[in-house]
Structure 1
Amino acid sequence: MLLTAAVGAGGWMLYDGTRTSHPPQPSAVDAFSAPAGGTARPPVDVSGNTPAHHKPTPLPYSVPVRLRIPTISLNAPLVELGLDGSGQLQVPDNHNRNLAGWYSGGVAPGAAGNAIIDGHVDTKQGPAVFFLLGALHKGDTIEVDRKDGRAALFAVDAIEVYAKDAFPSAQVYGPTTDPELRLITCGGGYTVRTGYLGNVVLYAHLIGSKPV
């Protein structure tokens, strides 16, 4: 069954009662198809599997407990998420802005397949865990701590922005042969009437592991 995007619906950029702040949007050169003169992405096959390079051995299944992204000083605990009554991916509690969620009905980060983590870009109280996700670039490193005492290490392949009515569920949520990771949040513009107009999706592949 394919999931549908539900991350960040109803999020607001108004906080502290008076001021607004816009989350950084991904650079066009960090998308899968960079513009002329931009940085070309590594080759990716049509199934969305890991780019053609040395592939580390997938890790065994282990529940993830923490997400770290050093480039943007992100260090957040992970909670387990499922699907809501309409089959949409649940989102973490918005009362804790530094909290991300792992879809526990799918693959564990580091294991063979496509692991899904989502989080809010902001809440009414201010910027949230994935506020700076759009500031990342290809090659940046993501670490996911696991209960088995190892951290799965991923490298960013691309960051894409999709309109909510054109969200590519099969590409984002579909199975992969190699150990991959998707981080998902809201983005793609904002209006007071509708909230965020789209979703930001980060694609990454496993590059190794280390002791936590």
Structure 2
Amino acid sequence: MAARPSSLADNEPRTKTLVVGAVAALVLAMVLFGGNDTTPSDASRPPKAPHTEAAAAPPAERTAGKHLPRARPVRLLIPKISVDAPFTELAIGSTGQLQPPPADDTNLVGWFAKGASPGEAGTSIIAGHVDTMTSAAVFADLGELKKGDSFEVRRDDGRTASFVVDDVETFEKDNFPSRRVYADTDQAQVRLITCAGDYDRTVRDYTDNLVVFAHLV
């Protein structure tokens, strides 16, 4: 289970940094929420939006499997853990870090807006805080999800993308499988990502990342 605010002893700051990607020849941090994976491989970059050069694959390859057209996500609904949260767009900053959702809003999730949108063919990245300095946050109970559980993403085109969980895994940030998590696919898939493990007060970060793997149904 994701860490609880009861571990917020001494009012330690708990805002996590979302980290992704290698850009060109520059090796950048590769794990969301402050992890490090210095593999300088294109395969471990976050998936790109369809209008970028990463979409140069043949159309049949890009549209295999069930999928929806591109549309901005509006709301994430995970009934099992009582999540009903709006979206904000996340972008990579000048340091190569994916900016996190605002820490002052505990009921907010972010999606990597230059990657696939939820329901679109490709790997969509959705991230949220597990807690903040003052309370539990939107993904506090993300670790309770199991294979076969379902969740929905409402989109601004009026459609609802329904997903089923394939797997839920926790990875050490120092040994994060970037290719497996971020690599693009020809199916409509989603990764829900937050912090997990122990809180290291020395570096003011959690030791692990929790990743929920899911696909469109």
TM-score, normalised via structure 1 length: 0.72
User: Are the counterparts in 2 of residues 62 and 146 from structure 1 also a CA contact under 8 Å?
Assistant: yes
Aligned to 1:84: 93
The answer to whether residue 202 in structure 2 is matched with residue 206 in structure 1 is no
Q: Distance in 2 between matches of 1:170 and 1:84?
A: 21
Q: Which runs of 5+ in 1 are unaligned?
A: 10-54, 208-212
Aligned to 2:206: 196
The answer to whether residue 159 in structure 2 is matched with residue 150 in structure 1 is yes
Change (3 A) 1:169 1:105: same
Aligned to 1:184: 193
Q: Distance in 1 between matches of 2:100 and 2:140?
A: 15
User: Are the counterparts in 2 of residues 59 and 110 from structure 1 also a CA contact under 8 Å?
Assistant: yes
Q: Which runs of 5+ in 2 are unaligned?
A: 1-19, 23-29, 36-63
Aligned to 2:105: 96
Query: What does 1:16-165 align with in structure 2 at a 5 Å threshold?
Result: 57-165=66-174
What is the CA RMSD across the aligned residues, in angstroms?
A: 1.8
User: Are the counterparts in 1 of residues 101 and 128 from structure 2 also a CA contact under 8 Å?
Assistant: yes
Deviations along 1:57-93, one digit per CA (max 9) or x if unpaired, are 3101100011010001100000000112222222100
User: Are the counterparts in 2 of residues 2 and 170 from structure 1 also a CA contact under 8 Å?
Assistant: no
User: Would you tell me which structure has more strand in proportion to its own residues?
Assistant: 1
User: Are the counterparts in 1 of residues 163 and 215 from structure 2 also a CA contact under 8 Å?
Assistant: yes
- 1:165 partner SS: helix
TM-score, normalised via structure 2 length: 0.71
User: Are the counterparts in 1 of residues 80 and 145 from structure 2 also a CA contact under 8 Å?
Assistant: yes
User: Are the counterparts in 2 of residues 64 and 145 from structure 1 also a CA contact under 8 Å?
Assistant: yes
Aligned to 2:31: 5
Aligned to 1:24: none
Deviations along 1:161-181, one digit per CA (max 9) or x if unpaired, are 111111111111110110000
User: Are the counterparts in 1 of residues 65 and 187 from structure 2 also a CA contact under 8 Å?
Assistant: no
State the aligned residue count: 162
Deviations along 1:4-34, one digit per CA (max 9) or x if unpaired, are 223278xxxxxxxxxxxxxxxxxxxxxxxxx
User: 1:2 Cα shift?
Assistant: 3.6
The percent identity for this pair of structures is: 48
- 2:97 partner SS: coil
Deviations along 1:144-190, one digit per CA (max 9) or x if unpaired, are 01000111000000011111111111111110110000001000222
Aligned to 1:39: none
User: Are the counterparts in 2 of residues 65 and 145 from structure 1 also a CA contact under 8 Å?
Assistant: yes
Q: Distance in 2 between matches of 1:104 and 1:88?
A: 14
Letter matched to residue 109 of structure 1: P
Most deviating of 112-121 and 84-93: 84-93
